[in-house]
Structure formats: structure tokens, C-alpha cells
Structure 1
């Protein structure tokens, strides 16, 4: 009996309280029962509270685990992915969304949309024109809806920033402040006093850990409400209070920028005296001086980064970053950050990392990495990656040229009166809502224009990738990498910067004692092993 994998996604966790989750999972079960499929629940691939607009779900979310399972052979040709409709799969630009669907289907996996019962596979996407139209129409509609929503939210926040002097910008604010009945921000007296006391204790030499212990032993009530209310005070929150300038009244506006599916928070201008000041300026400045000195104390100038794999190397079990930890006796190890923190899934209560807490000596890994770099294992593979990219560019250009020619022919036919916008080109075309109707010249033009837009976006992406893969660019980066590791004292900061530039991904398998690097400039992965 064939296997099915049910993929459920919604953008905001609050939607879990509604009908979205039940509706999607129930539809998947009903389809599986009616079509003789067994739902495989071994993969936790749901994206609850993860948007499909920027592609995060496919890069690092639940869907990425399904894609990885296809690559490693766990999900096999003939297996079925069940989704409510195509905009659950992706709300990215039409080109990116279609590429994702095509990549899944090209591996032999069948995608079924439960809302209309439509099946998409490699043959369907290659030969069924009507199915292709339906897929692209769904993707175009989903992306436009998300784009409109994103633009609307962005404009709303821009308007708030513009009118910041007239009213409170947001209800979210520091826990020691509140908005009163007249709409003014005011301190909560007992909490403001605690904040000031935290600063005073710190200046007198009391550590954040000890301050935390005092608050807990004195049974001082924590801040927050509902699920956001912690059971106990924790050191990280005390440090957060010591590091914020909210306490002296500052409020920094931010905006979000998106790059390759990743959201980056960018600070804009700082508004002074936006919040009521609860800590005297001289006390705040003294704390700043102490904390800044502590950050640089005892560090070597050439060793500001102690882990060359920082924000590069991930756990192969849960995709969390590998963290450098110091143990007694001066030993240094790499461990999965999720396993170290004991993170658990809030729904299943299972540990996020199936691999558990496993520590691996950092020096062994770094030594193996340095040897591999010097031996040339990270060098270019002779331009295979560039050749594949050029072939992709050529194919996309040919598709664009063919589409432009079709549009030109339609325009010429309209001008000479052979066709009108309402002239049917295809008959009995199934629509997304289940109805059947004719496909007109107007719809054909809109469809072809969508294809042109997606081709332009694709070419733009490929051009950026090609620039980074030019032989001279790759040679320069690899030369820098070798020089950085060959120094008597390894320039770890430089190595880390270069690794971030040349690595698509790097995953560590602690059981097999190996790291797999997927490089931007090479088709073949670099597999790094080590022994005790």
C-alpha cells in the first residue's frame, strides 16, 4: 500500500485555535482512506505558524524536512504529499513556487491538493497544459494575496512611525510600563523600582546570576501573562534588562528586510524620551561601561571568534546550530544548541533534537577542517556548478523568447482583427473553483505575461548566483581561506566569514563523526571526517 505524507501549514500560531488545523488534517485522512493510502506520521513536517510567502518553510521549516527526506531516499517515488491547496505549499513569487512543486514532482513524488482532488506529478507538469495553468494560477493568486497583505502591513507601520509623536506606536512595550486610560505610557511603580534595583546591584558588583537567585528566593512575582508568564526569573532576562536603553526612555524603530527567504531586523532612527525614564542616566552609563569592559576582557585581538563554524554548522537531526561549549578542565566541545537547551516541541512534548545531547571535541574537528582546506578539498570542481548554472540560464532565456513570440503573435492577430480578447483558444478548461469554461485570448495573454514575469525573476536570481561563481571570485575566496588557516594563529573570524559565503549548508552527524559541506561553487559535497 502506497504511503502518504500530510503537510499542514498556516502562517500564525493563533490559527491553531481556529478550524484550520482540524480542517487540513481531517481532509488528508479522508483522502487517504478513500484512496487506499497509509498516512506516514514519522516525519514532523507541519509548519504551524510559518509563512510560505518568503520561503522560510522550505528552507528551514517543516517542509524542508520533507524535501530532505526525498533527497536521502526515505520518501520514495510513488509516495504522495497531501496538501489542502497549492498556496499551502508556497506563496512565493510564481517562478519560485513552481520550481518547488516541479522539484518535488521530478523526484517521483505525487502532490495532491485536497480541496479539488487534483494530482500533480512529473508527467502532469510536463504534458498537461490545463494542470499547468491551474498550478500557475494558484501560485499567482497566493503570492499576490501575500504581497498585498505585506504591503498593507508595511504601510500601516510606516504611518505609525510617521505619527509617533501623536500617539502610542504599539501596545507591546517593556514589562515595567503600561498604557493608562488616557493613552499615555506610564511606569508600573513596583516594577520600575525592581529595574532600578537591578542596575544598582549590578554596579555594586553583584552578578546577574546572583540577582536572579535573589529575586527567586524572595518570591518576587515574574512579569507577563498567560503562557508568556515565566515560572521563575532567569539570568538571560536580567541581562536583557541590563542591556536595553528602554530604561532611559529610548525607543528604536525597526523595519524588516527579506533576503533569500530570511527576515532581517534593521534598526532605523532612535526616538529619545518616548518611554518614561526609570533608571538615572549616570547609573545606566556606568552599567554600560562595566558590561562593555566585560565583553572584551581577556580576549586576544586575533581571536574574537573562537568557533570557525559559528552560524554555519547545523545538527543533522534537528537543523539547529552546533554550539561551542567550554567544559571543566579547559576542554572545548561542539553540541547541538537545541539538545543543550533541552528544547521540547510544545505540542508533542518530545525533544526537538532526536539525536540528544552529544558533545564532540572541537579541536579534532577544527584540525580535520584545516587539513582538508590545505589539501584542496574545498577547491572548485572545474566549473561544473557554473556550467549547470549557464545551462539553466540558457533554458530560461529560450522559454522567455518563446513566450515573447507567442505574445507578439497574439498582439498581431488582435491588431489585424483575427482575434479579440474574448475569443476562445482552449475549450473545457477546468478552473480552480471546480467549474469548466473556455480559455480566452485575454486569459492566455495574462498567463503568458505571468510566465514572462517569473522568467525575469528567475534570470535575476541566476545572474546573482553566477556572479558569485565566476572563477576569479571563487579562486579569491578559496585563496583567502587557505591563507587564513595556514597562519601560525588561525584567523577564525576570517575563516567564518568565508565559510558563510561559500557554504550552502553544513550538517554534522555526531554518530558517524562527519560533516557534509554543500558548497556554492561545487556540485559535489565535501565530506569531512575525524577520529578521536
Structure 2
């Protein structure tokens, strides 16, 4: 706790009266509560012959006091505390609140610490609902005042915690219904390329086209910053409330599973004492997809580092080699690069050459292979490339571990529900400690399950089959048409780390 000292400027200034109003939701401000609190503060000041100072705004509208958000320096109460430290609040001034729970709904220990900060600054806290006055002298010498404050803090904290559990239960039921296919909506909010209509979620055509462009540019080798620059240069309308395209905006779109129609519900977890975002199981096909599964998988592979991005001066150019980043020399195993020395009339078509031989560092000679011949061979014989692809079956130990964790989570949830029911019927510190321990255990189990599920997803044969389908789709073109080189390259790079050109 940071001790307060009375600044010399505060000692000479006359005491003033300040009123503090807080609502946990903005909707509460629409009622009569704010006017009632302000009027009660004005009457109290008049009865004491003091002036209510309304120049210092002490309002926290839509701010929760359960975890102390109203004590941040950019909030009303936090700003008041800062003003006390800086000597802007006269020693002997008054802070009027409707009740002590307006100041804090944190645990009694933390709430008392906050109360000490205020009164140590020479400020008297007045509760308008019961007329109690709390200053440093009274709290030091009157145990009854201290007990009243502690009991009010305990009641307020438990009330907020109970409300929080009930709200969490409502959201948990929403997530369950969405996962079970019993509900079509989770929240009214969705990514900017989607629009809610009476028929359900629908794509906004012009925005979905921007999303597809961003994915295609990424597959073709463009970086997030380059994509944002291009969108700004072309004056492409921004999605959301921003004024321009930023790299972070592009990055979020490239990492949002909603582009393939997947909803990933999540929640904030405070069981460990820290603010942690926890994600539940994804719900596939919840939204209409803006990009194909093959495009999403290709971009994920690039972003997750399983395939390399094109580098150098041609990084932003369209991919013109189906084996870009994959071709390997049959003699030494080094990478092969595309070489094109000019017009077809003088130098012929582009070729693949060994990078080591090209630099004169290979023991073997300089041998080139026509890219056209390579493309023709891939187009006619690509099914042979996937004959030996492993099925990707995962080890049964992973499934067993996941099932054990799911069982442990289910049992812990049941135990926690029993404890919560018990504390609602008969509050006690011992049961509260057991609830906290159960919540921490549940959080740890869920984190372990999330880690195992990620490992299962990587080893899952379904992922291998999805990647194979991406290659099949790349070659699924009309008769007489050539497959898209960049699409074939992206699909191949999802399956192979290298292809020997023999």
C-alpha cells in the first residue's frame, strides 16, 4: 500500500465535498439512480454548510468494481485517488457515496486496503444510505466501524460473485446449445464480413471478396504489411471502425476461423487470479464460409511455420512454379530455383536449376530441367505423388488421455456445482476456499485438455485427408484449362517438405 502524506497545498485549501457515482452497466444510468444519488449528495453538503464540487467528474458508468476496474487511473475513482496523491484534493474533504459497495466489490481484504488509501489521504468517506462517516481516526479507534465496513464488503463481494456465476452459467448453456446445434445465434456480434438476417447469418458480398483477396495474396507470397499497403493504396473500404488498413487488421482476418464458417466460443477465466481467455471446442459450419478449406489450411500452414513464405525481391509476385520452395536436386539434395534469362525466342522457357550448382559450389555439373516439363509431369501423374502419404492415425494414448481429462473435468464440474449450491445455502469461508480450489483445478484440467486436443488435431488423419482434398481441388479444372499454379503449389507444400526432381 502506498502511504499518503498531506501536501502543504492541501493543508491550506478549504475542504470540499465530492460525489462518486458508479454503475456496473451503462443501462443503469438510464434510470433514476444517478439523479437520486446526485440530489442526495447535494442535500448532504447543504446540511453541513459545505459546497459540492462538481468540477471533478467522479463517475464510473458501465465499470465493475468486482475486480477493481474502477480504481484504474483512467477511471473516476482511480482519478480521485491520483488527485489525492498529487495534492489536488484538500485535506479534510469528503467523498460521498450511496453505499460502500459503490467504492469496491473486491474481496474484503482488498476493499479495506482501498478504504485505507482514501482515508489516509485525509478524506472522509460518507455513505448516504445510512449516514455513516469513515475517516482514519474512527477506523483506528472504533472497531464497530471497521466491522461494518468489512461486513458490507463481504456481502457486496459475495453478491457479485453469485451474479457472476449465474451469468457464466447462462453463457455456458448458450455455448452448449450452439455446440449441439440447438441454437443458430451465439451473440448478435460477428466478423465484419457477416450480417445477421431473419434467415440467419449471410455474407456481405463486397466484404467477403476482400477477405478472399487477402487470403489469395497471402498464398501468393504477400506479407501482411504489403497487403495492408495495397488495400490502402486502392482505397479499399476498411471493415470495422478503423480509418485505414493496418497490418494487425489483416493479421486478425488471417487468423479468424470464422472465414471458413467456424465459431470458436470463448470466455474470460479469473480462477488463477489472472485474466486468461479460455476457448471452448470450435463449432464448424456455424457461419457461411468466405474462403475455402484449402485456402484456410494453406494460410494456416504459412502462418504456423510449417511451410516457408517466399522471400526476396519476388516475394510479392505470383507463384509461377508448382514446386516453388519444394524442388530438390537429385544429385546433392539442395534446393532448386527457377531461372528465366529473358525472352522465349532467345533463351527458351524457364528452367529449374540446382542452387548449389548455380553458385559453382556443387561437385556435379550444371543441369537444368524445363519447368514446363515438370508441370506436365505433375499434372498427369499427381495421383502417384500421394500414393505413399501416411494415413496420419494418431496414437491411442492421446485418445485415452483426452478421455481421462474429459472425465476429470466432468467430475470436477459436478463437485464445483455442489459446492456452489452449498455456499448459496450456507455461506462460509471454508466452503469458499474449497470453491476457489475446485475452480483452479478445473482451469488447470481444461488447459491440459486444450493442449492434448491440439496434439490430437495435428496427428488426426482427418487433417491429412483435408490436405489431400486441397490437392484434388487444385487439379479439378475444366477440360482444356490449366490448373492454377499458386493453388497447386500451396496444396503440395501442405503435404510435402520437398520433392526431388529426377
Match of 2:189 among 172, 177, 181: 172
Q: Are positions 1:200 and 2:216 aligned together? A: yes
Secondary structure of 1:50's partner?
A: coil
Secondary structure of 2:189's partner?
A: coil
Judged with a 3 Å threshold, the aligned counterparts in structure 2 of structure 1 residues 48 and 234 are, in CA distance, closer, same or farther, namely farther
Question: How many matched pairs?
Answer: 302
**Corresponding residue for residue 142 of structure 1:** 156
Q: Are positions 1:187 and 2:203 aligned together? A: yes
Distance between the aligned counterparts of 1:16 and 1:219, measured in 2?
40
Cα deviation per residue 1:483-503 (whole Å; 9 max; x = unaligned)?
Answer: xxxxxxxxxxxxxxxxxxxxx
Distance between the aligned counterparts of 1:290 and 1:39, measured in 2?
61
What is the TM-score when the length of structure 1 is the normalising length? 0.48
Cα deviation per residue 1:454-485 (whole Å; 9 max; x = unaligned)?
Answer: 9x97xx99xxxxxxxxxxxxxxxxxxxxxxxx
Judged with a 3 Å threshold, the aligned counterparts in structure 2 of structure 1 residues 110 and 116 are, in CA distance, closer, same or farther, namely same
Shift in Å, 1:244: 1.5
Alignment check: 8 A CA contact 1:55 1:261 kept: no
**Corresponding residue for residue 69 of structure 2:** 56
Secondary structure of 2:105's partner?
A: coil
**Corresponding residue for residue 159 of structure 1:** 173
Shift in Å, 1:88: 0.8
Larger radius of gyration between Structure 1 and Structure 2? 2
List aligned pairs for 1:14-53, cutoff 5 A. Answer: 14-39=27-52, 46-53=59-66
What is the TM-score when the length of structure 2 is the normalising length? 0.51
Judged with a 3 Å threshold, the aligned counterparts in structure 2 of structure 1 residues 15 and 202 are, in CA distance, closer, same or farther, namely farther
Distance between the aligned counterparts of 1:73 and 1:295, measured in 2?
59
Distance between the aligned counterparts of 2:244 and 2:29, measured in 1?
27
Shift in Å, 1:52: 0.6
**Corresponding residue for residue 498 of structure 1:** none
Alignment check: 8 A CA contact 1:110 1:119 kept: yes
Distance between the aligned counterparts of 2:73 and 2:289, measured in 1?
40
Alignment check: 8 A CA contact 2:15 2:90 kept: no
Alignment check: 8 A CA contact 1:54 1:261 kept: no
Judged with a 3 Å threshold, the aligned counterparts in structure 2 of structure 1 residues 263 and 4 are, in CA distance, closer, same or farther, namely farther
Match of 1:258 among 270, 275, 283: 270
Q: Are positions 1:273 and 2:289 aligned together? A: no
Distance between the aligned counterparts of 2:160 and 2:139, measured in 1?
24
**Corresponding residue for residue 10 of structure 1:** 23
Q: Which moved more, 1:88-97 or 1:134-143?
A: 134-143
Shift in Å, 1:117: 3.3
Alignment check: 8 A CA contact 2:15 2:91 kept: no
Structure ranking higher in strand proportion = 1
**Corresponding residue for residue 483 of structure 1:** none
List aligned pairs for 1:340-379, cutoff 5 A. Answer: none
Secondary structure of 1:143's partner?
A: helix
Alignment check: 8 A CA contact 1:187 1:278 kept: yes
Distance between the aligned counterparts of 1:193 and 1:82, measured in 2?
56
Alignment check: 8 A CA contact 1:86 1:135 kept: yes
Alignment check: 8 A CA contact 2:41 2:96 kept: yes
Judged with a 3 Å threshold, the aligned counterparts in structure 2 of structure 1 residues 142 and 295 are, in CA distance, closer, same or farther, namely farther
Segments of structure 2 that go 5 or more residues without pairing to the other structure are 1-13, 310-425, 438-502
Secondary structure of 1:149's partner?
A: helix
Judged with a 3 Å threshold, the aligned counterparts in structure 2 of structure 1 residues 130 and 244 are, in CA distance, closer, same or farther, namely same
Distance between the aligned counterparts of 1:255 and 1:146, measured in 2?
18
The two structures, once aligned, show a CA RMSD in angstroms of 3.9
Shift in Å, 1:158: 1.4
Match of 2:81 among 67, 76, 85: 67
Judged with a 3 Å threshold, the aligned counterparts in structure 2 of structure 1 residues 280 and 295 are, in CA distance, closer, same or farther, namely closer
Shift in Å, 1:125: 3.0
Secondary structure of 1:153's partner?
A: helix
**Corresponding residue for residue 501 of structure 1:** none
Q: Are positions 1:87 and 2:104 aligned together? A: no
Shift in Å, 1:157: 1.2
Match of 2:252 among 240, 243, 254: 240
Alignment check: 8 A CA contact 1:54 1:258 kept: no
Alignment check: 8 A CA contact 2:124 2:135 kept: yes
Judged with a 3 Å threshold, the aligned counterparts in structure 2 of structure 1 residues 65 and 278 are, in CA distance, closer, same or farther, namely same
Judged with a 3 Å threshold, the aligned counterparts in structure 2 of structure 1 residues 44 and 233 are, in CA distance, closer, same or farther, namely farther
Judged with a 3 Å threshold, the aligned counterparts in structure 2 of structure 1 residues 20 and 221 are, in CA distance, closer, same or farther, namely farther
Shift in Å, 1:120: 1.2
